[in-house]
Amino acid sequence: MFKINENYMKLPGSYLFSTIAKKVNAYAGANPDKEIIRLGIGDVTLPLAPSVVSALHSAVDEMADASTFKGYAPDLGYEFLRNTIVENDYAPRNCGIKADEIFISDGAKSDSGNIVDIFGDGNIIAVTDPVYPVYVDTNAMSGRTGVYNQETEMWSDVVYMPCIKENNFTPEFPEKTPDIIYLCLPNNPTGTTLPKSELQKWVDYANENGSVIIFDAAYEAYITSEDVPHSIFECEGAKTCAMEIRSFSKNAGFTGTRLGFTVIPHELKCGDIELHSLWARRHGTKFNGAPYIIQKAGEAVYSEAGKKETLDQVKYYMNNAKIIREGLIKAGYEVFGGVDAPYIWMKTPDKMTSWEFFDYLLNEKNIVGTPGSGFGPSGEGYFRLTAFGSLENTERAIKRITE
């Protein structure tokens, strides 16, 4: 008899956002007259930028003509896109990243989930707590997280680094040295981040301890503070200890269009083995590239017009963040994030649990947010709101919450 991967059975409940979607659908079904405002899942609402739309149309036309039709893409992605990424994201910041160190993919979620493939059993992973649940869940699926404790909501073999208001959301070096360190900065869900001097300490720590940092920079476009690095490769020595995952979802509205990339420098090695070669092998064997037309859309994001248009989108969302942040503060809530990230992280009122506050907001205010505890045990008692709604809905939601 065939055997399933028993690690899947250890996973608690379903994926956070699937659970939320089910709850919201149930409420909406039972209350068809209620108008629900969704500030829960980090999904954008603005349409694709004109430059991106134009590039898509033009690429579709290429696909319609035998002389310009494109079949299988190059394993690691089209050079036009990889070169543009280097020129715009890395060269100006003197990161020393080369085009052949960029792997184009169908999104940061796929990459941050699939990356577990190239690591061996027995690696100890460390995560900031709370954090995007994909890191822990995918390691659990690989049997790398030990036993789940229903009460503490913690895995026995995961190193949790609490990021709470008491430590200003700054992770401390853990007692047990981890092999793989996930850093998501600006952080999802807390919306907080680290200045370069703090991130440099983590790079030094990883190099000293033989750890690898998986740096998720999906929200880098939202950074406004001067001293916050946009890439981990701005730090000295990062190329020997870090890889970086990037997304087009939040800077250019590609949540339903799907494009991302991972940067793995050749210098990142385990002994003599480049992680680059392992990831290249995985890409070549289990993936067949992002669609040509989507890669062309990605290139357009970096055109002069595309940069301006997508920056305007980011500003639009950050204006929402300001409205949420200031509205909640004015109403007496304790609020974090929302300055270098599109997420606002708030303490739940009246010592409500995160899910109690979720139910309260959904049932009483018809607003969907995300329970902080869904991002890890230290998220309990917090709640995430996103700035990705429309201006109108954001204003109405804050009015509903605060009145």
Site for a second copy in 103-132 (CB under 8 A): 106-107, 109-110, 113-114, 117-123
DSSP state of 101: G
Q: Which of 202, 144, 197 is nearest to 174 (CA)?
A: 202
Among the listed ranges 39-47, 318-326, 348-356, 363-371, the one in contact with a second copy (CB under 8 A) is 39-47
Q: Name which of 145 and 192 has its Cβ closer to a second copy.
A: 145
Residue 392 CB: number of other CB atoms within 10 A? 9
User: Quick check: 5 binds a second copy (CB under 8 A)?
Assistant: yes
Q: Name which of 381 and 389 has its Cβ closer to a second copy.
A: 389
User: Quick check: 292 binds a second copy (CB under 8 A)?
Assistant: yes
Residue in 100, 284, 312, 330 binding a second copy, rule: CB under 8 A: 284
Q: Report d(CA 370, CA 361) in Å as an integer.
A: 10
Q: Name which of 65 and 226 has its Cβ closer to a second copy.
A: 65
- Shortest reach from residue 227's CB to a second copy, in Å: 29
Write out the two tokens for 352: 């409500």
3-state class (DSSP) for residue 28: helix
Write out the two tokens for 117: 């493939």
CA distances from 344 to 115, 253, 278, 297 (A): 28, 19, 37, 29
Write out the two tokens for 219: 């929200």
Q: Name which of 73 and 329 has its Cβ closer to a second copy.
A: 73
Query: Rounded to 5 degrees, what are φ and ψ at 252?
Result: -135, 10
Q: Name which of 61 and 236 has its Cβ closer to a second copy.
A: 61
Residues 55-84 that bind a second copy (CB under 8 A): 56-57, 60-61, 63-66, 69-73, 75
- Shortest reach from residue 294's CB to a second copy, in Å: 6
Query: 112-146 burial string, b = 16+ CB within 10 Å, else e?
Result: bbbbbebbeeebbbbbbbbbbbbbbbbbbbbebbe
Residue in 20, 24, 40, 45 binding a second copy, rule: CB under 8 A: 45
Q: Which amino acid is residue 236, in one-letter code?
A: E
Residues 372-401 that bind a second copy (CB under 8 A): 390
Write out the two tokens for 188: 């999802």
Q: Name which of 179 and 220 has its Cβ closer to a second copy.
A: 179
Q: Name which of 60 and 305 has its Cβ closer to a second copy.
A: 60
Q: Report d(CA 140, CA 15) in Å as an integer.
A: 12
User: Quick check: 29 binds a second copy (CB under 8 A)?
Assistant: no
Residue in 188, 257, 262, 393 binding a second copy, rule: CB under 8 A: 257
Q: Report d(CA 199, CA 229) in Å as an integer.
A: 8
Q: Name which of 59 and 362 has its Cβ closer to a second copy.
A: 59
User: Quick check: 43 binds a second copy (CB under 8 A)?
Assistant: yes
User: Quick check: 278 binds a second copy (CB under 8 A)?
Assistant: yes
Residues 305-364 that bind a second copy (CB under 8 A): none
User: Quick check: 240 binds a second copy (CB under 8 A)?
Assistant: no
Among the listed ranges 93-101, 167-175, 273-281, 326-334, the one in contact with a second copy (CB under 8 A) is 273-281
Q: Which of 317, 366, 378, 393 is nearest to 190 (CA)?
A: 378
User: Quick check: 28 binds a second copy (CB under 8 A)?
Assistant: no
Q: Name which of 108 and 228 has its Cβ closer to a second copy.
A: 108
Residue in 293, 328, 368, 387 binding a second copy, rule: CB under 8 A: 293
Beta pairing class for 125-129 and 148-149: unpaired
Q: Which of 335, 321, 298, 327 is nearest to 388 (CA)?
A: 321
Q: Name which of 209 and 225 has its Cβ closer to a second copy.
A: 209
Residues 170-209 that bind a second copy (CB under 8 A): 179-180
- Shortest reach from residue 6's CB to a second copy, in Å: 6
Beta pairing class for 242-247 and 212-216: parallel
Bridge partners of 181, per DSSP, are 126, 213
User: Quick check: 32 binds a second copy (CB under 8 A)?
Assistant: no
